[in-house]
Structure 1
């Protein structure tokens, strides 16, 4: 079960969502606490460098970049690579949830066979990913055997 959760795309999205919330929470805490406490040896009058005030903003930007932007860029690169490497005979799933086998690729249009003798044309960007129907069939058989 643990291996299934690790490969589940929804768990990856949940993990990214949690990381975003943590980053936002930390950022808000740093910003709100930074102004509450004056530096040691001062009575609250700001006599320090104005650049010191930029430190929390820089930290927030770095957290945002590391926790949100970098993973999104990586996912985007992987998706573009997958779409570029599609070939005839691959089994894919569309963003609408249709499973199909690629019959033809011409530019940005992919022709899928979704049933015997039934083909549809789909935009290449409408393909969500490669589908492994063998794993789906095994999982379906396991579910039936448990009942």
Structure 2
């Protein structure tokens, strides 16, 4: 019986939040489109210039375009965030 209680606590404190996070990340990646500014898992700030089935083509700087896996996108940068404003000035 105590083992079952430990498993239930473990599920609600660790497994369930991770599942929600993965679901929201997958939804965010599905909603990305050309022109969106993103941060990759390697820390690069970039703009999406092309969308493929399993990959994005991103622009890191002038004349620097790279193809990355969709799973390599960590987050979308909103237009109102300071990082986005700083990147647009460059």
TM-score interval w.r.t. the shorter chain?
A: 0.7 to 0.9
Which structure has the larger Rg over C-alpha atoms?
Answer: 1
Does residue 45 of structure 2 align to residue 99 of structure 1? yes
Does residue 79 of structure 2 align to residue 126 of structure 1? no
Which runs of no fewer than 5 residues in structure 2 stay unpaired? none
**How far apart are the structure 2 equivalents of 1:138 and 1:88?**
18
**How far apart are the structure 2 equivalents of 1:58 and 1:74?**
22
TM-score by length of 2: 0.85
Partner of 2:33: 87
Q: Tell me if the contact between 2:37 and 2:84 (Cα under 8 Å) persists in the aligned partners.
A: no
**How far apart are the structure 1 equivalents of 2:66 and 2:35?**
15
TM-score by length of 1: 0.54
Report the Cα offset of residue 117 of structure 1. 1.8
Higher helix share: 1
Partner of 1:136: 83
**How far apart are the structure 1 equivalents of 2:84 and 2:43?**
16
Count, aligned residues = 85
Task: Report the RMSD for the aligned CA atoms in angstroms.
Answer: 1.8
**How far apart are the structure 2 equivalents of 1:70 and 1:137?**
32
Which runs of no fewer than 5 residues in structure 1 stay unpaired? 1-54, 140-147
Q: Tell me if the contact between 2:54 and 2:69 (Cα under 8 Å) persists in the aligned partners.
A: yes
Larger RCO, structure (CA 8 Å, separation 6 or more): 2
